[in-house]
Structure 1
Amino acid sequence: MAVTASLLGCGGGGGGASSGSSGGGGGFTPTPGGWVAGVFQAASSFKDKCAAVRTGTDIEGNGFPDRAGTATDEKNWLRSWTRETYLWNTEVADSNPALGGTRLQYFDTLKTFATTASGKAKDDFHFSEPTTEYLRRRNSAASASYGAEFVIISPTVPRDVRVVFTEPASPAEDMSGGQRKLIRGTRILTVNGIDLVNGGATQAEIDALNAGLFPANAGTTTTFTVQDPGASGSRTVVLTSQNLVAKAVNRTRVLTSGGQKVGYILFNTFSPYSSETELVTAVQQMQTEGVQDLVLDLRYNGGGLLAVASQLGFMVAGDTQTAGKTFELLRFNAAAGNRNPVTGQINDPVPFYRTGLGFSVADGTPLPSLNLPRVYVLATGDTCSASEAVVNGLRGAGVEVVLIGDKTCGKPYGFYPQDNCGETYYSIQFQGVNHLGFGDYADGFIPNNSASAFGVRLPGCVVGDDFGHELGDASERLLQTALSYRASGTCPTPVSSAVRSSSAGSATSRVPSIALEAPERWIMDTNRDMRLPH
C-alpha cells in the first residue's frame, strides 16, 4: 500500500522551505553540516544524507533515496525539519548537533518540555521507530489473533487479565460447551498450564505467558483456563490463532428506552479503509430503524483516518447543522502562514464530508444521516485523537455531546510520519481546531461531574467499566448510565470499575514479581491519519 509524499511527507524534508533565522545571523549561511545558533538551513539540504546508506527497495517496492552523508548530516536534518514543521518550534532549545550523541538521542531533545495545567507533558507523543517496522505495520492488513482484546488489570502477582471484547466470527466467539469460548470480562487463569495469576516466577514463564496471550503467528494453539464474570468455577478453552482484520464497527444495537428507539454503535477504530463502509452500513441501519437518539461507543477507539471522523460527524448531525461549517482546521506553527509546512499545500480546512471518499465507499456516494441535535459518547482514557476530533467537531457545529465514562486521552494534535535514513520520526506538527476555533483539550474532555480539576467539561457522568456485561447490553454500566441520563438528566453515584476493585490482593499485599506486559499500541493507532484515497 503506497502512500503519497504529499500526504505523509515522505521525501519532502518538511516541504524544503528554509525557516530562516530566529535570532540574528542576518544573511549568513553556514557551511553544510555547520552550526550557528538560531540559523537554520532548509531541511531539504540535509534530507537523505545518511551515515549508513540503504540500497535496493523497501517492502512497498520504492527505491531508497539515501545518499552518502554523516551522522551530523542526519542530526542537522532533524534540527531543520523540527524548526520548519514542529508545532512548538520556538520552544525547542537549539543545540549543536555535532556535539556527541546519536541521532535518536538528539531527536529526544527536539521537543518542548513544558507541561499542561495538570502537569502532564505538553508533548507526550514524541517518538521514532525503524522505518522497516513502520512499513511492516502500515502494510499489515491482518495480524495473528484469537479475536479477543485483553486488558492487563494487574501486571504483577496476583495478576488479573480480562477479555475486553471479542471480534465477530473469530475463534474467541466459537462455541464450546454451549457458550462462546470467551466473553467480555472472562478472566485468564492459566496459559498452557502456567499459572498466570500467581506464577510467572521466571522471565521464561513470562515470555511463555505473553506468547500465549499475544500470538506472533497464525496457527498457534493455546490452552487457557478461564473464569467467567459471576462464575465460581473455571473452564478450559482451546484457541487457535488466525490472521484477522479487526472490525471497525464491532457491533450495533437498537434499544427501546422510554418508548423510543436508541441506537448503539461500538466503533473501535478509524484506521482501516473498511471503516468507511462499516460506518455507513451502521448508520443506515439506525436510519432505517428510525432511532431518536444515538449512543456512540468510542471507549476503545484510539483514532485513525480524520476524513472518516469527519464523515461520522456528518452522519450524526446531518446537512442542516453542518452546512458551510468546518469539521477541523489544522493549526501549524506560526511561521507556516496559510500553508501546511509538511506538504507545502494551502492549509484548507477539513469540511464535514457528506459523501463517500473512495476508501471503501464509492467516491461521491451520498452518506446517510441521522440529523440529531445531540449524541451520547461513551469514553475512557483510550478515546483519543480522531475520536476526540469527532467530539470537538460536533461541538463546533452546535451538536450537544454528552460524555459518559471517563476523561479522554487529550490529544488534539497530530503528525505526518517522516522517514530519514531508515528511521521514521513522529513529531507533533499540528493542532486540530473546530469551526469555533477551539482545540485546547490537552487534558482531555471530562464528564461534568468529574472530580478532576483539569479537562474540558461536557454534560454527562463519570462511570467505570464493570466488565460484567457484554458491550451493547442495556445493563452494561456505561450504556445503562447513558440511557438513564437520557431519561432523567441526572447521574448515578460514581462507582469505580468493579473489575479493578475485585482484583485479588491489595497494593500492600502484593509480592515482588515479574510484570506481564501487553504489546505496545502502535503510535499511528492513536493519531489523526491525514490520508485520502485519491
Structure 2
Amino acid sequence: MTFARTALSLVLAVQLAACGGGGSSSSPPATGGGGTPAPSPTPAACSLRARQDFADQVLNEWYLFPELLATVNQNSVTNLDDYLDARVAPARAANRDRFFTFATSIAEENAVINSGSSAGFGIRLSYDTANRRLFVVEAYEGAPGLAAGLDRGTEITAIGTTSANLQSVSSLFAIPGDNGGAQAVANALGPSDPGVSRVLRFTQPGGAVIERSITKTEFALDPVSDRYGALILNDGGKRVGYLNLRTFIVSDAANQLRTAFGQFAAQGVTELILDLRYNGGGLVSVGDTFGDLMGAGRVGQVWSKEILRASKSAENSTRLFRTEANAIAPTKVAVITTGSSASASELVANSLIPYLGSNLALVGANSFGKPVGQFGFDLAACDLRVRAVAFRTVNANDQGDYYTGLASVMPNTCRAGDDIAFPLGDPREASIATALNFLGGRTCSPITSSRTASATGGATQGERLGGGVDLPERVPLQPRRPGPAQHELPGLY
C-alpha cells in the first residue's frame, strides 16, 4: 500500500476535482500518475475489510472535514461504495461532500485520463424531469451514436436488445422503486463495454423516426469538438471567441486549449464565451492551463490557492499564472453553465473574478456548487483508487465556498435555457444568445435562486448532479454508480 507522503507525491498528481470544485496540484505529471494494479491480488489482501481499512486510513488522515466523518460498523455494509457514503454522510448533510468521495478503478480512470477514450455510443443524454422524455444533448465525432443519426436534439423513445423487445422510455421511467425511473433507463441502455448492442427508436429534430441497432465501441473523448469547439462568432461586426470545452479529464485537453487560443489570438479576440454547460470537471492541471491562456500580462500573479485541513497545512499551495505563447488578455467573459458544470469548470470561473469583476457573468443556470476537490489514493494490488475530498480552493481574493453554486459569488448572472433545438456554437441557441447580449452590454434576467442540499442527506438523481430549483427542466441521465468517465461527463453513454 502506498500512503501518506508517498501517496501525495505519486498519486495526488492525478488529482481531479471530480464532480465539482477543485484546486491546483503542485506539479501533476502528464501521465496522470497513480499505481499499476498487480495482475493477481490475493483474496485476503483485497477483501472488503482490507479495502475498508485502506479507506479509513485515507479519510482519517486526509479528509478535509474530519469533524464531519461518521463512525461506521464495517460489518453493517456489504460494499465499499456504501461504506464510504456512510462515513461521509455528515458532510453530505452539511452540503460539503455530495457524493464527491468515492471508490473507482485505477486502470479505468487512468485509461480515461491518458488515452482520452471511453466505450459506449458516444452520446450525452438528459431527460425532461416533468415529462420523462429522453434527449441527446451532445454527440461525439467518430462515435457510433453520431454515425447512426443520434445528435443534439434527437429524442430516444424506445430501447431494447432486439426490435421484438423494445420498451418505451416512458414505461421505463414509470417503473417504481430503486431500479426504476432514471436507473431503469440507464439499465436498459446496457453496460459501457465494447460490443454491447442496443436497438434504439428515436426521433430526429426534423421529425424522422428511425429504429436502428447500434453497437458500443471505443471512442475518443475529444475535449474540444472539431465541429463547434472553437469558433469566432460575429456579433454586429465584433469578433467574439466561443470555446466549448467538454471535459478537463483528458490530459490532451491542455494542448487543444492552446490550439483554440492560438486561433483567438490570431483574430485579435478579447471577448470570450466559455461554454462549460455539460463539463463536470477533471484534471486541475488543465484548468490551470486554461487560466494561463487568459493570463497575458498577469504572469506571476495568483490564479488560485489550494487549502488542506489544518493538520496538512504544510501542503497548501498557490498557483500563479504562467507564460503561455497563445495567451490573450480577455476584457469581458461570459461563462455558460448548468447544474452539470462542476469541478475545474467552477475553479476557472471563480479564479477570473478578481481580474474581470463586473466584466464577468455566469450565463444559463446555476453551477453544481463544489469549491472542494479530491486527491486520489491507490491500493494498487486491488486496482482500487479512493478519491477523497481533501482540499478547498479560493481565488486571488480568497473567495470560494460556493457550495450553493457560482451564482452566489459571480459579479453578474444571466438566466437562460439550454436550447437543444439549435447546435452548440450556434448564436441563436438561448444560452449563447444571452451570453452575446451580456458581452454587448444588453440586458438579461438574473439567476435568482440556487441549489439547496437534501434535507434527508440522501441523494436524488437531481442532487447528485447539482439539482435544484435553478436547474433547467432536463437533467443528465446518470446511473446510481457512474463509471470513471461519467463522473466527469455526466450523462455519457
> Which TM-score bucket, shorter chain as reference?
0.7 to 0.9
Does residue 473 of structure 1 match 2:476?
no
| Residues 525 and 227 (structure 1), Cα distance of their counterparts in 2 relative to 1, 3 Å cut | closer
Structure 1: distance between partners of 2:448 and 2:154: 21
Does the CA-based 8 Å contact 1:330-1:433 persist in structure 2? yes
Structure 2: distance between partners of 1:89 and 1:237: 51
Q: Secondary structure at the match of 1:172?
A: helix
CA-CA distance at 1:406 after TM superposition:
0.9
Structure 2: distance between partners of 1:241 and 1:69: 31
Does residue 136 of structure 1 match 2:113?
no
Q: Secondary structure at the match of 2:193?
A: coil
In structure 2, the partner of 1:276 is 254
Identify the match of residue 84 of structure 1 among 48, 51, 61: 61
AA in 1 matched with 2:218: N
Q: Deviations over 1:340-392 (max 9, x none)?
A: 2xxxxxx33222233xxxxxxxxxxx430121122111001111011111011
CA-CA distance at 1:232 after TM superposition:
4.9
Structure 2: distance between partners of 1:74 and 1:211: 27
Q: Secondary structure at the match of 1:432?
A: strand
Structure 2: distance between partners of 1:149 and 1:227: 16
Structure 2: distance between partners of 1:395 and 1:64: 48
Structure 2: distance between partners of 1:305 and 1:71: 29
Q: Secondary structure at the match of 2:428?
A: coil
Q: TM-score, normalised by structure 1?
A: 0.67
Q: Deviations over 1:450-501 (max 9, x none)?
A: xxxxx324313111212111110111110011112222331159899xxxxx
| Residues 367 and 302 (structure 1), Cα distance of their counterparts in 2 relative to 1, 3 Å cut | farther
In structure 2, the partner of 1:353 is 322
Does the CA-based 8 Å contact 1:481-1:492 persist in structure 2? no
Does the CA-based 8 Å contact 2:223-2:247 persist in structure 1? yes
Does residue 462 of structure 1 match 2:435?
no
Higher RCO (CA < 8 A, seq sep 6+): 2
Q: Write out aligned runs for 1:234-383 (5 A).
A: 234-250=209-225, 251-318=229-296, 320=297, 322-338=298-314, 340=315, 347-354=316-323, 366-383=324-341
AA in 2 matched with 1:280: R
| Residues 83 and 317 (structure 1), Cα distance of their counterparts in 2 relative to 1, 3 Å cut | same
Identify the match of residue 154 of structure 2 among 181, 186, 196: 186
Structure 2: distance between partners of 1:68 and 1:241: 34
In structure 2, the partner of 1:26 is none
Structure 2: gaps spanning 5 or more residues: 14-34, 450-476, 489-493
Q: Secondary structure at the match of 2:389?
A: coil
CA-CA distance at 1:274 after TM superposition:
1.3
| Residues 523 and 59 (structure 1), Cα distance of their counterparts in 2 relative to 1, 3 Å cut | closer
CA RMSD of aligned residues (A): 4.0
Larger Rg computed on CA atoms: 1
AA in 1 matched with 2:156: I
Q: TM-score, normalised by structure 2?
A: 0.72
Structure 2: distance between partners of 1:65 and 1:330: 38
Structure 1: distance between partners of 2:425 and 2:395: 30
- Residues matched between the structures, number: 418
Structure 1: distance between partners of 2:272 and 2:184: 43
Q: Write out aligned runs for 1:521-532 (5 A).
A: 521-522=482-483
Structure 1: gaps spanning 5 or more residues: 11-57, 341-346, 355-365, 447-454, 497-515, 528-534
CA-CA distance at 1:259 after TM superposition:
1.2
| Residues 162 and 225 (structure 1), Cα distance of their counterparts in 2 relative to 1, 3 Å cut | same
Counting aligned pairs with the same residue, the percent is: 26
Does the CA-based 8 Å contact 1:262-1:294 persist in structure 2? yes
AA in 2 matched with 1:429: A
| Residues 79 and 236 (structure 1), Cα distance of their counterparts in 2 relative to 1, 3 Å cut | closer
Structure 2: distance between partners of 1:325 and 1:395: 14
AA in 1 matched with 2:145: A
| Residues 228 and 425 (structure 1), Cα distance of their counterparts in 2 relative to 1, 3 Å cut | same
AA in 1 matched with 2:396: H
Identify the match of residue 444 of structure 1 among 405, 412, 427: 405
CA-CA distance at 1:79 after TM superposition:
4.8
Does residue 484 of structure 1 match 2:453?
no
AA in 1 matched with 2:305: L
In structure 1, the partner of 2:142 is 169
Q: Secondary structure at the match of 1:249?
A: coil
| Structure whose residues are more often helix by fraction | 2
Does residue 197 of structure 1 match 2:166?
no
Does residue 430 of structure 1 match 2:408?
no
In structure 2, the partner of 1:127 is 101
AA in 1 matched with 2:255: T
